Chain A
Amino acid sequence: MSLTFDQYLGIAGLVVGIVGVAYAVRLDQKLKTAQDAEKKIEKKFMHYLAAQEFEDLAIEASGIMGKIRRREWASVPDLADKMGVSLGMARGARSRLLQSLEKDRLDAAATDIQAFINSLPLEGHEPELAEDQIQMMLSRCRPLVEVASEIAGRLRVESIQQSEGET
């Protein structure tokens, strides 16, 4: 049995078609792998950025506590306002990465920080502050230092674990 030219052409077309489909499948797999890798890097970067934000928050809060202890009042109100904004931004932006208890502790810390900001004396009235009022201010800042540094630590470890998982 001999094949006609048209039949040869049909078989060649079929072979080319199969090769084309196989190539497309391979390309699709490569694209998926690249997309997975991109997602992993994105996730790792998100964790890293979030860890950095919470670490900065903890450092800001502990810096303010240090200024209160040393009674360096001049820059405290501005720093406290800035910290309140940073806390709200971090809480909102990183909500997806936070565990339920961390969210609650951050919310409670935010309430404390607001109370702390409201309790700050007006300029020139700082020397009138009693020791227990200063202790109260410190205790209102402390929860933020604790929870922000714990979250930063957890996110940093998770970011490192993601890198180890990839190798």
Chain B
Amino acid sequence: MSALSNLLGQQDDPRKIELVRGLIEKTKQGKVTWVKQANALTATLPNGYQVNFVVSPLTLPFLQQNSSWQLLTVRDRSGSELLRVSNTSTLAILAGGEASGVPLTAAANELFKAASDTIRDDLDRAIDTIKKL
């Protein structure tokens, strides 16, 4: 739990940030396919790695930016959890002023935005295809 770690004065493992940064890069390159599911965005990577974003059902006007996702996890083929980031906005605000101030949460925010953009791109492509019919 990134925000909680920062609140307790613990630093995030830099490798976790590197993992999320890698995912952002590959998502932007279109090499990671994200699938929209009920309240979630998921991606399956080679070697059985599974990335899940649980999307937040809450829409608080003052936390809009941070309430778009609740939980990010990365698991390996056996189901072992490699990464877990909770977007606990209140904790994040207490820890660093705002959620995006926590490096791992900020990286997860960026990944969520990139993943959401790819879903939007898919929708745009579907709209274009239908228009061309």
Contact = CB atoms under 8 A, between A and B. Distances in A.
Interface of A: 100-101, 104-105, 107-108, 111-112, 136, 139-140, 142-143, 146-147, 150
A136 to B, nearest CB: 7
A150 B37 CA distance: 12
B93 interface: no
Contacts of A147: 39
A100 B52 contact: yes
A100 B58 contact: no
Task: Label chain B's interface by main secondary structure.
Answer: strand
Interface stretch (B13-21, B68-76, B120-128): B68-76
Interface of B: 37-40, 42, 50, 52, 54, 56-60, 70-71, 73, 75, 79, 86, 88
Nearest to B90: A115
A140 B58 CA distance: 7
Contacts of A107: 54, 71
Contact of B86 (A111, A140, A146): A111
A136 B58 CA distance: 7
B58 A111 contact: no
